[in-house]
Chain A
């Protein structure tokens, strides 16, 4: 039985973890208001493109890199990855969302566990050397709680998918069963992307998705907003 880590993983990747995940739409709200995402098919397209073109090269890639840096006990590398995240996330609300989620995740797990790596990271955040991005904190804890990298990544993707499905159901709106049907069909893609993230070349980390970026920036100017990003 190699599943001693399973409860830790479920806890870490729980979409209902009180870190504020559901107050961020990551640009979806702009797409819905403009009518681009308006039904189950367009929602499915949005989620797939987000996972395949954005999350794979960005947040998921950083989960893996942070995990590897943690495995090497390399605090300097963790801080550098965090700075790279800040430098890459050009829409302000997306940057802030990532930091809000990350800092809250650290707060929850820090109270219960004690790890030197996290303490160093925390100090760097306190001293404003680092910001505290969600993907970095996720990768860090995944390693520290003995979760295998592959499983941690799959859970990260699953968590992102659930978040987007829930937002689509609320915003468009879609029926709960339509949302669940999308999620069911996503499983093979989540598996595939997990494998691809483990193989991703370093030079491809951080690839920009201009359309997503623009909609995330436009969100700052929406007349009425339900979400923070």
Chain B
């Protein structure tokens, strides 16, 4: 089944709002913003299906107009069921100048014999902020279904003004390349990647120590955090529980969301003032 979801977030009177939405089964969309004073838009993608079935094709397109802030949320774990042909997902996210998009979806659970191929492309313009993550599990671990899926591939590409600035090509074929091997999952059963990128002026570097400290508190994980060639960072983590990694990424998201760098970057008088005081 081909399923479509289109979201256009707009900005008027100092507030982000859902300008247009279009979706077909099984998608649904709910506005989950909690505070009237919050100028950002919070949307939850809901689904009447527990996951992707054979031959499913998800086609998702999200557009953020100038100055919009959108936090997208998922409703539950994304299951990939037993398949012959395989399922696909295409996601296109376009951020216009000055907008920010943050999305920490629930973990993906590839069941036995599932085959998935995803492609996410993100286009950024000036003064944009992006936080995006992905968590993949070994399957239904507690039923003993560990790495029984056929293949999982997800390609993520981020462009800043037409130039490719980040690419992540995740390919998992447990039968062909054992996940326990050194350099791969190394005995862990869950993997996660979180990317933060800012095309504004203020360096994302200020967040590195904070994120490092946050993730350090997790027990039983192995993680790495590193600066990108552009203004941003990549967090990669291996662990043994979906809930743990998801909550960890949520905490990182919360730490980065309220003190939006862009708002501060837009007010140069504010950000430069402390520097001047120091110089005097």
Interface, chain A (partner B; CB < 8 A):
31, 36-37, 42, 45-46, 49-50, 53-54, 57, 80, 83-84, 86-88, 90-93, 95, 131, 203-218, 220-221
Task: Enumerate chain B residues within 8 angstroms of A211, measured Cβ to Cβ.
Answer: 181-186, 222, 238
Between A and B, 10 residue pairs with Cβ closer than 8 Å are A49-B184, A86-B165, A90-B226, A95-B229, A203-B155, A204-B169, A206-B169, A207-B171, A210-B236, A211-B183
Q: When A and B form their complex, which 5 residue pairs have the shortest distance between CB atoms, in order from nearest?
A: A217-B224, A214-B224, A212-B183, A90-B234, A87-B167
B contact residues, range: 20 to 34
The listed residue (A54, A83, A93) touching B183 by CB distance below 8 A is A54
Docked complex: B18-51 residues within 8 A CB-CB of A? none
Interface pair B236/A204, CB less than 8 Å apart: no
The listed residue (B164, B184, B193) touching A209 by CB distance below 8 A is B184
Residue with the highest number of chain B CB atoms closer than 10 Å, among A209, A210, A217: A210
- With both beta carbons as reference points, the residue of chain B lying nearest to A217 in the complex is identified as B224
Interface, chain B (partner A; CB < 8 A):
155, 157-158, 163-171, 177, 181-186, 191, 193, 212, 222-229, 234, 236-238
Please report whether the interface of chain B is mostly helix, strand, loop or mixed according to DSSP: strand
Interface pair B191/A131, CB less than 8 Å apart: no
Please report whether the interface of chain A is mostly helix, strand, loop or mixed according to DSSP: helix
Task: Enumerate chain B residues within 8 angstroms of A217, measured Cβ to Cβ.
Answer: 223-226, 234, 236
Interface pair B236/A49, CB less than 8 Å apart: no
Task: Enumerate chain A residues within 8 angstroms of B226, measured Cβ to Cβ.
Answer: 90-93, 216-217, 220
Task: Enumerate chain A residues within 8 angstroms of B171, measured Cβ to Cβ.
Answer: 204, 207-208
The listed residue (A46, A88, A91, A92) touching B167 by CB distance below 8 A is A88
- With both beta carbons as reference points, the residue of chain A lying nearest to B168 in the complex is identified as A208
**With the chains together, A53 CA to B183 CA distance in Å?**
8
